[in-house]
Amino acid sequence: MKRKIIFSIALLLVSLSSFSPANPIRIVFFGDSITQAGVSKTGYITQMLSMLANQGIADKYELIGAGIGGNKIYDLYLRHEDDLLAKKPNITVIYIGINDVWHKTSSRTGTDADKFEKFYNALIKKVQASGSQVVLCTPTVIGERYDATNENDGDLNRYSDIIRKIAKNNNCTLIDLRKAFLAYEQANNTENKESGILTTDRVHLNENGNKFLAETMWSVLKDLK
C-alpha cells in the first residue's frame, strides 16, 4: 500500500511538472528587420512579453526573436538550422515577405513569386520535420495609403495570397497581418498618409505599429499549445 501511495505521488509530480514554469512554451519569431527590432524597447516581441506579464502568464512562455535586417525567404532557408532549429522551438512564427517584394523596386533584388513559393514550402517542411508547430504571417505594408495606391500594393497582395495558399496546403496556422493592417489603415488613416500611422518610414513599425502587431499576433498564438 505504501509503495502504491509513493508511486501515485510520483506520477502526480511528473504530471504537474509538465505544466510548470520550468517548461514554458518556446516561441521563436523568424524574420527580417521588423523582427530584429522586435526585441527592442518598444518592439513587438517586447510588447507581447509585457502583455503576457499583465495577464499573469509570462512564465508560461519563452519568446525569442530571430530576425536579421534585409532578409528574404531564401535567407531564412539558409540559416534555419543555426538560427531557428538550434533553439528547439515549440512554435515557429515565420514573418517574411516584405523585402522579397520591396527590393524588387528599391534595388532590383527581390524574389520572384515562383521562387518565393518554392523556398517557403521547403522551409516549412524542414521546420515541421523538427517537430515544431509552424505559424505563417502575411506581410504588412510598404506604404500606408489605404486606397491601394502604394507602389507595391499589387505584389504585397499577390505574395500574401501565396502565403495563404501555402498555409492551407501545409496545415499551418495563419496570422493574416496584411488583412489586419489594411483594415486598421482604412479605419484610422483618415488623411491617407504614406507613413506615420503604424510605420516610421512606410515599412518599419513605430511604437503603435509594434503594439498593434503584438496584439494581432497574440490573438492567434494564445490558442496554440
**Would you kindly state where each structural domain of the chain is located, as residue ranges?**
25-221
* Residue listed under C-alpha cell 507581447: 48
25-221 folds as Rossmann fold (3.40.50)
**Which DSSP letter does residue 199 get?**
B
The confidence score (pLDDT) of residue 10 equals 42
Backbone angles phi, psi at 38, to 5 degrees: -65, -20
Q: What is the rounded CA–CA span in Å between residue 197 and residue 209?
A: 7
Spatial distance between the Cα atoms of 174 and 90, rounded to a whole number of angstroms: 16
Cβ-based neighbour number of residue 2 at 10 Å:
6
pLDDT at 87: 98
Quote the pLDDT of residue 172: 98
pLDDT of residue 108: 87
In the chain, which residue ranges form alpha helices assigned H by DSSP? 2-17, 33-36, 44-54, 73-83, 98-106, 113-129, 153-169, 177-188, 207-221
Per residue of the chain (225 residues), what is the pLDDT tens digit? 444 444 444 444 444 444 445 799 999 999 999 999 999 999 999 999 999 999 999 999 999 999 999 999 999 999 999 999 999 999 999 999 999 999 999 888 999 999 999 999 999 999 999 999 999 999 999 999 999 999 999 999 999 999 999 999 999 999 999 999 999 999 999 999 999 999 999 999 999 999 999 999 999 999 998
Q: Is the distance from CB of 96 to CB of 84 less than 8 angstroms?
A: no
- Strands 91-95 and 173-175 come out as unpaired
State how far the alpha carbon of 40 is from the alpha carbons of 34, 45, 65, 67, 176, in Å: 10, 8, 10, 12, 23
Report the distance separating Cα 122 and Cα 106, nearest Å: 27
